[in-house]
Amino acid sequence: MNNLLPDHLFTDPIRSALDTTHSHFAIGDALARRYPADVAPFATLAEPSEAAMARLRSLLARGEGIWLFGSDFPRVSGLTITDHLPGLQMALPDHVEPPEPAMMPLANLGEAQAHEMVALTDLAFPGFFRQRTWRMGSYWGVRSSEGALVAMGGERMKLASFAEVSAVCTHPDFRGRGYAEAIIWRVVRKQREDGVRSFLHVGADNVKAIALYERLGFVKSGKIVITRVVAR
C-alpha cells in the first residue's frame, strides 16, 4: 500500500466529496448527509453515533438502502444493517503517462443515454448507477455496430485534487476487445487536464479488475469496507 490517497480525505471520501466539489448534491445537515437517491446510493455521518444514524434514517424513504464508508455503526430503530462489502482504493501515480488515444470511437454519454447506462451497469454492479449519476462527471461509451451501448465508464466522486474513475463495465458479449482500457485512459486524460489525480474503488474479490488496473499502472492505496443500511 502507498499514501497517494491521504487518509484525512479517503477514510470517508463521501464526506470529503460532499464537503467540497459535490457540496451542491448534499442533502441533510452536519450529523448526516447523502446524495440524492437518483444520483448515488451513498451517505456520510459526522460520527458513528446513534444520533447520526437516527438523522440518516430521517433522510431515507421506507425500504431504501444506502451505503456508508466504514463497518462499525450502532444499530438504531428504523435501520437495518444488511451488507458489508470489502474493497480497495487504488490511485494512478503522477509519473504514469496515458498512452495515445485508441483508434476506436468513444461516444459522450449524458442525460439522453441515462437509461442505457443504468441498464448496462446493472449487469455488473446493480443499483450503484442511477438515472442522474451522469451529473457527477463526464462519461464515455462504446456502441456496437447495431447501436447498443456495450461498454462505458466515467467519473463519480470528486474531492479536492482527486477524481474517481468509475462505472467501468463491458457487456459480457463484448469483453476482451480493449474497450474498458480505452475508456479508462480517456477518463484519466480528462482528469489530468483538470489537474486532479485519478483514483478508483474496486471490490476486494474482483481479481480480474484489480489485475487490469495494476497493468495500467494503478497502485493499491488502502483497504475499505462499505456498509449497506436499509430503512424500515
Q: What is the pTM of this model?
A: 0.96
Residue (of 67, 90, 71, 40) closest to 225 by Cα position: 71
Domain 89-221 part of CATH 3.40.50.2000 = no
How confident is the model over 120-146, as pLDDT tens digits?
999 999 999 999 999 999 999 999 999
Model pLDDT, residue 2: 76
Task: Check residue 146 and report its DSSP letter.
Answer: T
Model pLDDT, residue 3: 82
Q: How far is CA 214 from CA 93, 174, 189, 221, in A?
A: 11, 22, 17, 12
How confident is the model over 179-199, as pLDDT tens digits?
999 999 999 999 999 999 999
Rg, C-alpha atoms of the chain: 18
How confident is the model over 92-102, as pLDDT tens digits?
999 999 999 98
Percent of the chain with pLDDT over 90: 97
Give the start-to-end residue ranges of the domains of the chain: 7-87, 89-221
- At position 74, the amino acid (one-letter code) is P
Instruction: Calculate the CA dihedral of residues 55, 60, 62, 68 and round it to 10 degrees.
Output: -90
How far apart CA 167 and CA 117 sit, in angstroms, is 9
Q: 187: part of which helix (H) or strand (E)?
A: helix 179-194
Model pLDDT, residue 56: 98
How far apart CA 110 and CA 203 sit, in angstroms, is 26
How confident is the model over 3-59, as pLDDT tens digits?
899 999 999 999 999 999 999 999 999 999 999 999 999 999 999 999 999 999 999
Model pLDDT, residue 25: 98
